[in-house]
Amino acid sequence: MNHPDPQKLSINTATLRQQWDLRQIIEGCVRHEIRGISPWRDQVAALGLKETARLIRQHQLRVTGYCRGGMFPAVTAEQRQTRLNDNFRAVDEALELGAACLVLVVGGLPAGSKDLNGTRQQVRDGLSALLEYSRPLGMPLAIEPLHPMYAADRACVNTLKQANDLCDELGDEGLGIAVDLYHTWWDADFHREIARAGLKRLLAFHICDWLNPTQDMLEDRGMMGDGVIDIRGFRQAVEAQGYTGFHEVEIFSRLNWWTKDPDQVLLTCKARHLEHG
């Protein structure tokens, strides 16, 4: 469709993390009739897992994703096991919240390392071990490719092709991709890899805009319509594969949106989603 379904709007709680706590974000989404929410683990921990789950059920919100798991690579085997154990807890938390998936930011180079291929092997091994835990429990894992500028510190999986390759290798059951346009809009293979992923692997779809110029690579994301991404075209490409899930607004914006009245931010998200999504 040309215009997005307004009922498919979801708010990633990072979008309002500087103004509101999680309880306030949940209440704000309800007040503005936004049906989807994607909370972060630190915010859930601050409110309490049980209380977060209770509020989400009470207000009949859909948890479109849980942020985040991953960060698999580490210097020692003991450190890698500690990180894997934390991922097991993240799966349990996602289940308690009724999340559609656990989003994975896989991690970058361990301290002092320059071995990118070895780091990617650690990611593959960590994913394989986590799948042994998550698959019997029925919690899908969504690999989120991050822009190559984050290969060293946040994610050495940087393209949709790399994510698809991991799904090919490890199997589709309970494993797919979180497509974040901030990280993937530049990829010349976007449409081919989305078609390769198909409906089964498309677990989440994140939207915001890329500002030109961008003043901070992490915390200067744009509101939809303020940058250079053809958000509507990419959304239509994803939905052409049969995707009927939510469109999750995730904006880190220290210089702009984190300084604004949060109710106004939510109103703007709704308007821009309809206009540009």
Q: For residue 202, which of 145, 132, 123 has the smallest C-alpha distance?
A: 145
Lookup: tokens for 198: 């198909």
CATH superfamily of 6-276: Divalent-metal-dependent TIM barrel enzymes (3.20.20.150)
Rounded CA-CA distance 99/21 in Å is: 19
- Asked if 231 and 186 count as a contact pair (C-beta separation under 8 A), the reply is no
Mean pLDDT of the chain: 98
Confidence band for 1, pLDDT divided at 50, 70 and 90: low
Q: How confident is the model at residue 94 (pLDDT cuts 50, 70, 90)?
A: very high
For the packed helices 22-31 and 49-58, what is the interaxial angle rounded to 10 degrees? 10
Instruction: Kindly tell me if the per-residue pLDDT of 47 is higher than 90.
Output: yes
Q: Kindly report each contact of residues 154-157 with a partner whose C-beta sits within 8 Å and lies 24 or more positions away, as own/partner.
A: 154/105, 154/107, 154/108, 155/70, 155/105, 155/106, 155/107, 155/108, 156/73, 156/106, 156/107, 156/108, 156/109, 156/116, 156/119, 156/120, 156/123, 157/106, 157/120, 157/123
User: For the segment 224-276, what is each residue's pLDDT rounded down to a tens digit?
Assistant: 999 999 999 999 999 999 999 999 999 999 999 999 999 999 999 999 999 99
Residue with tokens 């797919």: 176
User: pLDDT of 206-218, one tens digit each?
Assistant: 999 999 999 999 9
CA distance 51 to 57: 10
pLDDT single digits (tens) 151-207: 999 999 999 999 999 999 999 999 999 999 999 999 999 999 999 999 999 999 999
Residues of the chain with pLDDT > 70: what percent? 100
Q: What is the mean pLDDT of residues 109-127?
A: 98
Q: What local confidence, expressed as pLDDT, does residue 227 receive?
A: 98
